[in-house]
Amino acid sequence: MNKNAAYNAYAQNNIRVESSAKLVEMMYEGILKFSSLAKKSITENDTEKRVYWINRASDIFVELINSIDFEKGGDIAHYLNGLYAHQVQLLSEANVNNDPKNIDTVLHVVKELLEAWRETAVKELEATK
């Protein structure tokens, strides 16, 4: 999935995305949505949907990994790379083991990332005023 595909997938209901920061926020929201649906599929013992939703969430993490700018991001970029890769691993294990515990971990991590991302965006917006 390339950047244009990610944009189309997560901005299909929006006419435009104001910024790359908004796109990242939408990607985190997509992970939360797809991971929650994967967890629901596990509780309903629906293998086909579980695989589908886990793959969707994993694809977003892969796109986030591919979009990291290591030159500008420094230590944070390397940290996020490892964090995202670990989340993909947790989703894969949840898929193989049909166990929602790893999905709970992913949901917790992404909720924290989304909150931090939103706080940063607000601070940057206030700094430009």
Q: Which two tokens mark 99?
A: 């166990």
Is residue 13 in a domain? no
How many domains, in total, are found in the chain?
Answer: 1
Asked whether residue 11 carries a pLDDT value surpassing 80, the answer given is: no
Q: pTM of the entire structure?
A: 0.83
Kindly state whether residue 50 falls inside one of the protein's structural domains: yes
CATH for 107: 1.20.120.340
Cβ atoms of residues 31 and 55 within 8 Å: no
Q: What is the pLDDT of residues 83-120, one digit of tens each?
A: 999 999 999 999 999 999 999 999 999 999 999 999 98
Question: Which residues 6+ apart lie within 8 Å of 85 measured at CB?
Answer: 61, 65
Domain limits for position 119: 20-127
Query: Rounded to an integer, what distance in angstroms lies between the CA atom of residue 11 and that of residue 128?
Result: 25
